């Protein structure tokens, strides 16, 4: 094991986001790394990251998380891929908040997809990063047709001088904690269980953009956040709490394609803040989902839609009055 002479963590290093192997520099060589999609950065992921930090301290080397953009399932399935739990920026921010020193984002494209498992090890782990220790999940697969596994990593590690550490699957309620399970939980609106599996309330963060101003015209202004994806893990109307400039504000939100207006292909997040009249265009908001009110609906008229929205707002007020 190529460990440092002491177990002090690497300090004084600025967190780095590196996009692509071509942006790796000599100073990036020598690290403790892990690989995965890390969608949601849930408790299972955080167990891996904890081991990563521990090994980083022991080896006296920076910690690196290798992720992919697009996520492999998105590359293979396109619009039919499972909905993301978080955007790339949110993921990187979550990884950094867990104490990761560097995030290496590899473009998942035909070239990367065609690499054999051994070629991936050679080009990414050895030539690119000079990995000294690799932390992986017990079900980790990589390389063309997912042909690589921890057994191959151990064989090459013995030859090239890097260690491979397995992490065991984390369970809750006798079921594996996974991004897939969290999507299922969000789909049925069980935000308490989602919070347990994630280790924090489920939220979406984004910048408020200009919309069609329809909400303003109807007397129900909304803060709109583009999700930049064809599918969202949520759909419908929700009670939410918004973190803005250090304050928590109550609200009601819609996630969907606005079928009554019929002007969207990709879903958007629209938030109406209760008793709030400030302009917040361009600001980033953090939206936590508390309770599902109903599914998104198509209305026969704007008047019918407005009546229903006022009913949603009343239910949101009732929720906050009771908590």
pLDDT 10s digits, 77-133: 988 899 999 999 999 999 999 999 999 999 999 999 999 999 999 999 999 999 999
Mean pLDDT of 19-44: 96
Mean pLDDT of the chain: 91
Examine the domain organization and report whether 131 and 216 are in the same domain. no
Tell whether 115 is covered by a domain. yes
In sequence order, the β-bridge partners of residue 291 are: 239
User: Residue 5 has what pLDDT?
Assistant: 33
Contacts of 271 (CB under 8 A, 6+ apart): 222, 223, 224, 225, 240, 242, 251, 252, 253, 285, 287
pLDDT tens-digit series, residues 258-313: 877 766 678 999 999 999 999 999 999 999 999 999 999 999 898 999 999 999 99
Tell whether 180 is covered by a domain. no
Tell whether 25 is covered by a domain. yes
Tell whether 41 is covered by a domain. yes
Examine the domain organization and report whether 97 and 239 are in the same domain. no
Tell whether 188 is covered by a domain. no
145 or 207: which carries more pLDDT confidence? 207
Examine the domain organization and report whether 25 and 153 are in the same domain. yes
Examine the domain organization and report whether 141 and 206 are in the same domain. no
Residue 11 has pLDDT above 70, yes or no: no
The domain tally of the chain equals 2
Examine the domain organization and report whether 50 and 136 are in the same domain. yes
Sheet holding 16-19, edge to edge: 16-19, 102-107, 63-69, 31-35, 131-137, 163-167
Examine the domain organization and report whether 152 and 251 are in the same domain. no
Residue 255 has pLDDT above 80, yes or no: yes
Examine the domain organization and report whether 166 and 296 are in the same domain. no
Examine the domain organization and report whether 42 and 104 are in the same domain. yes
Contacts of 202 (CB under 8 A, 6+ apart): 85, 182, 186, 191, 194, 195, 288, 289
Q: In the numeric block, which tokens belong to residue 176?
A: 């594996």
Tell whether 197 is covered by a domain. no
Examine the domain organization and report whether 163 and 33 are in the same domain. yes
What's the Cα-to-Cα distance from 169 to each of 14, 32, 92, 137, 184, rounded to whole Å? 31, 20, 22, 7, 18
Examine the domain organization and report whether 167 and 254 are in the same domain. no
CATH code of residue 145: 3.40.50.620
User: Residue 262 has what pLDDT?
Assistant: 66
Examine the domain organization and report whether 21 and 164 are in the same domain. yes
Q: Which domain holds residue 38?
A: 16-172
Tell whether 183 is covered by a domain. no
Mean pLDDT of 151-157: 94
What is residue 40's three-state secondary structure? coil
Tell whether 4 is covered by a domain. no
CATH code of residue 256: 2.40.30.30
User: Residue 264 has what pLDDT?
Assistant: 65
- The backbone region for 147, taken as left when phi is positive above 0, alpha when psi lies in -120 to 50, beta otherwise, is alpha
User: Residue 140 has what pLDDT?
Assistant: 85
User: Residue 7 has what pLDDT?
Assistant: 32
- Angle, alpha carbons 150-71-137 (nearest 5°): 25
Mean pLDDT of 9-38: 86
Residue 212 has pLDDT above 90, yes or no: no
Examine the domain organization and report whether 63 and 157 are in the same domain. yes
The pTM for the full model equals: 0.89
Q: Which of 157, 172, 187 is the last residue of a domain?
A: 172
């Amino acid at each position: 094991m190529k460990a440092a002479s002491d177990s002090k963590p690497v300090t004084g290093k600025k967190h780095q986001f590196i996009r692509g192997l071509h942006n790796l520099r000599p100073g990036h060589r020598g690290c403790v790394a892990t690989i995965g999609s890390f969608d949601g950065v849930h408790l299972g992921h955080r167990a891996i990251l904890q081991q990563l930090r521990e090994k980083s301290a022991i080896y006296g080397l920076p910690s690196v998380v290798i992720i992919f953009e697009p996520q492999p399932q998105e590359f293979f399935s396109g619009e039919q891929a499972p909905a993301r739990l978080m955007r790339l920026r949110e993921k990187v921010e979550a990884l950094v908040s867990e104490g990761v020193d560097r995030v290496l984002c590899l473009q998942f494209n035909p070239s990367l997809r065609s690499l054999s498992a051994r070629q991936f090890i050679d080009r990414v782990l050895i030539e690119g990063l000079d990995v000294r220790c690799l932390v992986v999940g017990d079900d980790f697969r990589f390389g063309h047709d997912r042909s690589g596994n921890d057994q191959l990593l151990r064989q090459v590690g013995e030859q090239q001088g890097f260690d491979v550490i397995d992490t065991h699957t984390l369970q809750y309620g006798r079921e594996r904690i996974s991004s897939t399970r969290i999507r299922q939980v969000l789909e049925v609106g069980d935000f308490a269980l989602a919070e347990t599996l994630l280790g924090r309330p489920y939220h979406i963060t984004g910048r408020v953009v200009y919309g069609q101003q329809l909400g303003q015209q109807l007397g129900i202004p909304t803060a709109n956040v583009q999700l930049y994806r064809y599918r969202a893990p949520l759909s419908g109307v929700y009670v939410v709490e918004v973190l803005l400039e250090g304050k928590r504000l109550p609200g009601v939100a819609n996630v969907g394609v606005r079928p009554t207006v019929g002007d969207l292909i990709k879903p958007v997040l629209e938030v109406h803040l209760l008793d709030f009249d400030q302009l917040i265009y361009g600001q980033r908001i953090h939206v936590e989902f508390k309770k599902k009110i109903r599914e998104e609906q198509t209305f026969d008229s704007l008047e019918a839609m407005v009546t229903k929205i006022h009913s949603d707002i009343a239910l949101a007020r009732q929720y906050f009055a009771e908590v």
